[in-house]
Amino acid sequence: MENKMSLSQKKKLINIYYLTIYLLVYAFLGWLLETAYAVYETGDFVKRGFLYGPICPIYGWGALILIQFLDKYKHSSIKMFVISAVVFSAFEYLVSFGLETLFSAKWWDYSEEFFNLNGRISIFFSFVWGIFGILFINHIHPFIKSKVNKLLSKLPYKFKINCVKFLALVYIFDTVFSLIRHF
């Protein structure tokens, strides 16, 4: 017997809601990645990221940049590699500079890496960002997108809207309180 969806479940969210969902999903996945790396490096749980909550916004915003700008190049791995490496390196440099300027603190330092620029970016991580852009657009995001769409298809429209708004509000409050803490 086929399960019929209600009209409110079929109603799609507007793009800004999807972008908000992806921002939060990828920021959380980035936090998990950073935390796992820190546990691997130190052997202990280390709170990673700028915010109180379990998210690293740089990953969420970086994912949105990739989604918005790289999708049209998915048929050219070379273009995706170059654009990812350049855009992510510039983004990483700007975020590092901004955080250091605002808070007099470094969240990462590549000074020991070969061919680095002010310890903010390095040729190795630029290469990693290029590879990651290809993997993200061709594999990671399509997988996450399908899971998000599957979950959202099961929820009533009003509930979806309210959840996204609530999570966005939590993210905003976390950002504000984290900024206050660091000033």
Task: For residue 48, give the nearest of 67, 61, 60, 33 by alpha carbon.
Answer: 33
Half-sphere exposure of 60 (CA within 13 A, CB side): 20
Tokens 């061919």: give the residue: 115
pTM, to two decimals? 0.86
What integer pLDDT is reported at residue 95 of this predicted model? 93
Q: Can you tell me the distance from the alpha carbon of 19 to that of 146, in angstroms, rounded to the nearest whole number?
A: 14
* DSSP code, position 47: -
- For residues 151-163, average pLDDT: 94
CB of 140 closer than 8 Å to CB of 128: no
CB-neighbour burial class of residue 88 (10 A; exposed 0-12, middle 13-18, buried 19+): buried
CB of 60 closer than 8 Å to CB of 23: yes
Quick one: CA torsion of 139, 162, 153, 75, rounded to 10 degrees? -30
- Is it the case that residue 54 has pLDDT exceeding 60? yes
Q: Can you tell me the distance from the alpha carbon of 39 to that of 73, in angstroms, rounded to the nearest whole number?
A: 35
pLDDT band at 4 (very low <50, low <70, confident <90, very high): low
pLDDT band at 41 (very low <50, low <70, confident <90, very high): confident
Q: Can you tell me the distance from the alpha carbon of 35 to that of 41, in angstroms, rounded to the nearest whole number?
A: 10
Structure tokens of 84?
Answer: 């990812």
What integer pLDDT is reported at residue 108 of this predicted model? 87
Range in 19-28, 45-54, 84-93, 132-141 the model is least confident about = 45-54
Please, where are the H alpha helices in 43-153? 57-70, 77-103, 123-135, 141-153
Phi/psi region, residue 119 (left: phi>0; alpha: psi -120 to 50; beta: rest), is left
CB proximity list for 62: less than 8 A, separation 6 or greater: 26, 30, 88, 91
- Is it the case that residue 112 has pLDDT exceeding 80? yes
